[in-house]
Structure 1
Amino acid sequence: MMAVPLLISHFTPIISLYLLLHSALLISAVNITHLLSPYPDFSDFSHLLSTTTVAADLSQRTSVTVLAVPNSFLRSSDLIRRSPSNTNIADVIRYHVLLQYLSVQDLRRFPPSGKLIATLFQTTSRATNNFGYVNVTYDAETNTTTVRSPAAYSQPPNSATVISLIETLPYNVSIISVNSVIVPYGFDLLASETRPPLGLNITKALIDGHNFNVAASMLAASGVVQEFESDEGGAGITLFVPTDDAFAGLPPTANFQSLPADKKADVLRYHVLHSYYPLGSLQSIVNPLQPTLATEDKGAGSFTLNISRVNGSVAINTGIVQASVTQTVFDQNPIAIFGISRVLLPKEIFGKNAIPENPNSIPGAASPITSLSPESFAPSPPPDSSNGRQSPVTVLRVNFAFFFFFYIGLLYVFV
């Protein structure tokens, strides 16, 4: 009579392990569009999931939260009205998939300062640094949860408020409605898809503009000018180019010439905004803290410029140097090039102490920048877009593997 209980006890670990593996397979095969099908107000969002293959990406994921946008909000957004490229649509939808399960209770536990959570967009090679993350905050006074881009200076629509829970499969899948499309930093859904590229030769434009020979030589030698010209499409670019006198006036404490090639390239990228701003827009800019191309390389909040209007002209402050716009070199959508009075030195490279004007500089003097060979501007290695963070899915898989082998060991002991 004791044989039957003993046999059952031996098989219990096997049965438990089978059920565990079977449930894991069921979780990985969840169909988000099927879960949304009983809710007609989300038919447009569900359609975008399936037509952009994001739904197929989700079928391979565990532990996700989908921020679904109702038809009424989605149809009034530029994501639908302006018909951007399929790649842009897919990435915006990926930005609405959080790689972490969040319950209603979880949404009320976030601090007012927020918490960064990775999205499906972060897993693509197109998300720079942490621009594939969202910041989730909770306001206890208004009982509202807000999801926004971590870049405070990103263009709207960059945030949404949680409306309600739509569907949940506890601890694995949560679908929550929000009141707006959230667009990742660097996307411009208003940009015309049919606008022909300008194809401007930036180096030639600087040489033709006179008094920009040093900057033109540095851009050509470093290779970053090709990056700038490739960014002419979409939102466009705005370049702040120091005059030859500005380079000649660099004080010895700036020590620009001794920088390695990758840091020189970062300084050049620091002079470029990844949006087209004509002079009038710069003079009336709403958000003075602006990211640069160096920001996209180094991370949100770093290598930013503070742009304001001072004494009737545009002032650009780096935290240690303040320059002013002296002239318009070129201005035709999508490119604006402005001459500036000083070299913009980022505090991330040159420290946080203000660098005064060089009292010994003579207007028109030869620039101290003499070595401009292409070898001295070897490109730096690309940054790790993951920022060293491990995604919740990776952690889950590692823990599951550990648990699996631990279970096998116990099974061996019991048998």
Structure 2
Amino acid sequence: MKKTFILIAIIAAGIFSQSCQNKSGEAATDFIGENVKFAAEQYGLQIAEIEKSDKVLNPKSIINGKMKYISPQEWTSGFFPGSLWYIYELSSDEKWKPLATKYTEALDTIQYFTGNHDVGFMIYCSYGNALRLTGNEAYKNVIVNAAKSLSTRFRPGAGIIQSWNANKKKDWTCPVIIDNMMNLELMFEATKFSGDSSFYNIAVTHADNTIKHHYRPDYSTWHVVDYDPETGDIRHKNTHQGFSDESAWARGQAWGIYGFTLCYRETGDRKYLEQAEKAFEFLANHPNMPADGVPYWDFNAPNIPNENRDASTAAILASALYEMSTYDNSEYYKGWADKIVQSLSSAEYRANLGENGHFILKHSVGSLPHNSEVDVPLNYADYYFLEALKRKRDLERK
């Protein structure tokens, strides 16, 4: 009798546990589904406005109540088509596929762009997702050509990809910004598609020198490191978009965390994962990290808590942390990512339907020191928010 009772109790506990897990899974599905439904409706309104113009326009933000459209050469041009691909993937609605294709292929000439390092953002966020979701082999050539273009900015003497051109006013000869870590994914993929290991080797060399020169002992990062391109000597360490040269510009911290996480994925070298983890711990334990996980635009901004938050930083972080959770300390990193996407999905950060220029997220900061794109929607905030939702969904389907 006693054994029977114990057996019944074990079975009941198992049923209860399974029921709780099912309810948790259903809640997560509902949360993601509601966000995807909203994103599709909001972007549907945005697309309708663009299509009425009979032009292929690429929206970036709302500035003073007016939509800011950008050229293919602008660094954020890949994010709008990339968001369309994520909406297509997350909604399973075929109507988004031709739209995503149209706005992706409008960037065709960018595969040959050599004016700065952002060809990685422009091409991989657009064509990379297009290739992943359609299997169109022609897109591989676009990615390889873009990697060749980016390779023209590699400076062997310094072992880095030069981000921006020399700037006499700033006294920059060969500036490299932490954002550049995000462009390495293009290089890794190009090696897979072409068999040319030079792209991989450039990416690894750049990542190694970024660890060596961009990070402070506390694992915060400088925004800009200026090199002598011939010798690799460091000329300056500055900020461009942060509060000061020695401050921790929030989005720069997020770019680094995301970039080193992807470097671990592509190489299997744990030093990159450890770099990402330590850089995240700097943020997670920082006294100025808000409880909702949506950072101020700079962790050393002088008027915290009366400073602008940056939803774009939060979205980038959430996406990176979902990936990081698949490699190490899964509950901790996923818990942080979940908190962030919950915050971004709240009325505080997510727009109402038909408002906010038909972007998803409010309250991002482009460059506060230049009074540029402050407290506005930004296309890359939406892109990484949708990517975070996709990664969350994939994790919770396992």
Higher strand share: 1
TM-score norm. by structure 2 comes to 0.23
TM-score norm. by structure 1 comes to 0.23
Which protein has the larger Cα radius of gyration, Structure 1 or Structure 2?
Answer: 1
